[in-house]
């Protein structure tokens, strides 16, 4: 960037003086904003509650222990529902995400002028709304229950999967595609032989990753009436049944650990 001459030797520095000053100024402004925000938050905090917090937390913790193991037999069904919401929601999302991704990727879209923007719009609108909010809307539209949760998970996941997938499609090695096209293969054959094998690892990775996320998200969907274990969690919280809450939290933790393990296995197997 900055090359100057000192005593006849050429000196190289990363930034010249103006650049250096700009960096310092940016740090100064950044620190000032941080301190100011800290002050605002501090002023808005009721400190009595804050100093109280450890005692309350210890109190709730004490009431939550030991977990009420006997409550387990009421949790198997909602747990199964939660798993189904996550899995079917992911499958449904993938079925819609694959075509959207092909329409959105610059190198496979039939029309960069008209169709690509539509595909990108689908991706953005699906991604911009949290699945809890989708669930809230869908519970109103199609009524409470598992189906609303499933659709909420699916809609939220389309954008995520399609975005990662279309980025993978854009990064493929074009020469392999060219080679297949040069044999006289048709449009769909070029996709099946030239593109599909190249994006399979990405596809597998994205699917299990999203399934993993969806399992966690589907545990809270019950809070808004969209089925799954969240319903029990909300019920227990509302009735201050802390031993049940702790049992549910342990269960969710276990489910997430298992899902992590499964997705690691799947990714390892396919790549």
Q: Where along the sequence are the contacts to another protein (CB under 8 A)?
A: 173, 175-176, 178-186, 188-189, 192-194, 197-198, 200-201
Measured from the CB atom, the residue of 95 and 192 that comes closer to another protein is 192
Measured from the CB atom, the residue of 170 and 178 that comes closer to another protein is 178
Least Å from the CB of residue 97 to another protein: 20
Measured from the CB atom, the residue of 117 and 201 that comes closer to another protein is 201
Tokens 């669930």, residue? 135
What whole-number distance in Å separates Cα of residue 218 and Cα of residue 207? Answer: 16
Measured from the CB atom, the residue of 179 and 262 that comes closer to another protein is 179
Tokens 């496979």, residue? 108
Least Å from the CB of residue 177 to another protein: 9
Least Å from the CB of residue 115 to another protein: 19
Measured from the CB atom, the residue of 136 and 202 that comes closer to another protein is 202
The three-point CA angle 133-260-123 to 5° equals 40
The three-point CA angle 167-171-174 to 5° equals 140
Least Å from the CB of residue 119 to another protein: 23
What whole-number distance in Å separates Cα of residue 48 and Cα of residue 167? Answer: 50
Residue 66, preceding peptide bond in cis (omega within 30° of 0): yes
Least Å from the CB of residue 182 to another protein: 4
Using CB atoms within 10 Å of the CB of residue 60, give its burial: 0 to 12 exposed, 13 to 18 middle, 19+ buried.
middle
Least Å from the CB of residue 172 to another protein: 10
What whole-number distance in Å separates Cα of residue 50 and Cα of residue 46? Answer: 7
Measured from the CB atom, the residue of 91 and 180 that comes closer to another protein is 180
CA-based nearest residue to 147, from 210, 95, 92: 92
* Residue 159, phi then psi, degrees to nearest 5: -60, -45
Do residues 152 and 221 touch, judged by C-beta distance below 8 A? yes
Least Å from the CB of residue 113 to another protein: 17
Measured from the CB atom, the residue of 52 and 178 that comes closer to another protein is 178
């Amino acid at each position: 960037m900055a090359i100057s001459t000192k005593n006849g030797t050429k000196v190289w520095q990363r930034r010249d003086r103006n650049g250096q000053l700009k960096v310092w100024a940016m740090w100064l402004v950044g620190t000032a904003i941080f301190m100011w925000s800290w002050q605002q938050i501090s002023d808005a905090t009721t400190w009595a509650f804050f100093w109280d917090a450890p005692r309350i937390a210890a109190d709730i913790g004490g009431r939550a222990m030991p977990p009420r193991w006997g409550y387990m037999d009421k949790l198997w069904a909602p747990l199964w529902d939660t798993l189904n919401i996550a899995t079917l929601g992911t499958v449904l999302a993938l079925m819609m995400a694959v075509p959207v991704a092909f329409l959105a990727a610059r190198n496979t879209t039939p029309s960069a002028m008209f169709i690509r923007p539509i595909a990108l719009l689908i991706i953005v609108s699906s991604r911009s709304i949290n699945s809890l909010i989708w669930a809230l809307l869908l519970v109103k539209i199609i009524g409470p229950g598992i189906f609303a949760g499933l659709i909420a998970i699916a809609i939220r996941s389309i954008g995520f999967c399609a975005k990662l997938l279309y980025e993978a499609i854009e990064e493929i090695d074009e020469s392999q595609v060219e080679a297949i096209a040069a044999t006289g293969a048709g449009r769909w054959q070029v996709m099946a032989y030239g593109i599909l094998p190249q994006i399979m690892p990405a596809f597998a990775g994205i699917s299990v990753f999203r399934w993993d996320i969806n399992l966690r998200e589907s545990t809270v969907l019950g809070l808004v009436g969209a089925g799954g274990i969240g319903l029990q969690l909300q019920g227990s919280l509302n009735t201050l049944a802390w031993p049940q809450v702790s049992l549910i939290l342990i269960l969710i933790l276990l489910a997430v650990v298992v899902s992590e393990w499964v997705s690691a296995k799947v990714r390892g197997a396919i790549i």
